[in-house]
Structure 1
């Protein structure tokens, strides 16, 4: 594969001199010079113009360099695939999601994924819903996960399910023992509402308007984590979906009662990726883990 001469040529161009390239490569300058001279002899034309102590590519050198770097990239990709076949899964995956999902869904999922794939680095970005799809389209992240994400021609949906909304309160709250509630049942208690910037708020406002109800917030926040903590202290009743509070419910900190209002839409949770281009193995593995987790949580929580 001529790996040595390709690496030598690439480094000479980066450093601008054979001596500096040799230092980076940890070889003798004569070894680098011999490889370059042999390649020039094989091609029958010089690759560099010697200007003082610096080297500048000739037009032929520019053409050869483009080929060299493409070959080195393909060689690196080949080595990555070889490592994958040998079971050494490596790479990086970047996911954009909301702060609520990052707190409720990601800790256990990422921990289990990293235990299975210690060679894969996971990057998580906490973004507003409207910025998640844009980050995926722009290539800033590999995957996006959020509620009611806007459709985009450059995105494909990998997984998705719908989640109902319920009332969330401290376990000792008077409403905590109910099998189901309506929005109107909660209005006699202090309300801890998601701020209008959160997608769930539009769903709640729409249902309240259909029912002719007015909800006055005692507290309003863009942080679902803060909303949960306030509800757990007995500060009031919050309206969230069961996926938001699954960990707090398991710890016995919150009670969740589903809301049965006819006009209350469910939240659509979707996992998206760019439509064009093949995903790296690390991204595929993480997407599969996310899909499995969403399916399991949906079966568990309904």
Structure 2
């Protein structure tokens, strides 16, 4: 059963006239007649009774018209959906990002993307770099915004920004008026750090260990938001990426660590750009807008 023949049949029923159906479909009248004859031969029934120039639909034809109309409507919807997906106006995108870049830089990008393409089903997760890289490799995520993945995962990685660790202090802290902090300034303080699997914790430990001889106590806290609140309550100082928006309306400050200057590159990780859907590619392109121009792409 040919879809074109069904479209011709539907038009003939709607107009009650082969010639008018031919005009709408931009077919020759003989083409319409031939398609209806072939459809009737295929089904083994008469679909029309000829009454001069007009045609009357048979009982079998009425039933077929009901079913054909629903089918053609469904096919039209399918064509539109496929077209929308190809254009990036529909479909689904699942990705993940680490904190605090997720809330501090990506949230506005995601909001603009959702406003521009409301039919795209977007899922954004917040997770750690290791987990994100593993899930991108496994195909659970289209892409991730994280630190550079291990070479064994064989993922592409586009650098976006370089983040530097700083010390978050309450405005009332004696060190809050300093332009920068040195490692020795941490002596005797309670330092709030993220969990061991966090890249910022790894960076901190890799940076602070070589200094040696500095005695301070560490408290593990699994959330930057909680670190904010604890520093605000004067329960310690926090080791966090330097984002002015984390300084909470002037009650907190973040100072760079002058003699250590710990930094890490955050970027976009994916398996194969050619395998990504159009919506995912458009979102990645929007995220590229936050890139630090000083960070060149691999091979550039």
Fold shared, TM-score > 0.5 on shorter chain: yes
The residue that corresponds to 2:246 in the other structure is 248
**Does the 8 Å contact 2:227/2:238 carry over to 1?**
yes
CA contact (8 A) 2:195 2:220 kept: yes
CA distance in 2, matches of 1:112, 1:251: 25
The CA distance in 1 between the partners of 2:248 and 2:120, in whole Å, is 29
Cα RMSD for the two superposed structures: 3.6
TM norm structure 2: 0.65
Aligned pair count? 233
CA drift of 1:123 comes to 0.6
Runs (5+) with no aligned partner, structure 2: 7-35, 44-74, 296-300
1:282, CA displacement in angstroms? 1.2
Return the alpha-carbon distance in structure 1 between the equivalents of residues 116 and 102 of structure 2.
20
**CA shift in 2, pair 1:41/1:207, >3 Å:** same
Look up the match of 1:236: 236
Q: Look at both structures and tell me which one has the larger radius of gyration over its CA atoms.
A: 2
1:187-222, Cα deviation, whole Å (9 max, x unpaired): 233211223221222222222221113454352112
Provide the C-alpha distance between the structure 2 equivalents of 1:110 and 1:3, rounded to a whole number of angstroms. 42
Contact 1:221 1:227 in 2 (8 A): yes
Aligned: 1:197 with 2:208: no
Deviations 1:111-143 (A, max 9, x none): 232233333332112223211011112221111
Matched, 1:105 2:105: yes
Pair 1:211-2:211 in alignment: yes
**Secondary structure at the counterpart of residue 231 of structure 1:** helix
Aligned equivalent of 2:47: none
Contact kept in structure 2, 1:169 and 1:231, CA below 8 Å: yes
SS in 1 for 2:250: coil
Question: Which 4+ stretches in 1 moved above 4 angstroms?
Answer: 37-42, 74-78
Deviation at 1:92, TM superposition (A): 2.3
Distance 2:137 2:165 in 1: 29
Which deviations, in whole Å up to 9, do the C-alpha atoms of 1:229-261 show, x marking residues without a partner? 212222211111114xx4332632421111122
Query: Structure 2 CA distance, aligned partners of 1:149 and 1:251?
Result: 35
Q: What residue number does 2:83 align with?
A: 79
Give, in whole Å, the separation in 1 of the partners of 2:166 and 2:107.
Answer: 23
TM-score by length of 1: 0.65
Show the counterpart of 1:185: 185
Partner in structure 2 of residue 129 of structure 1:
129
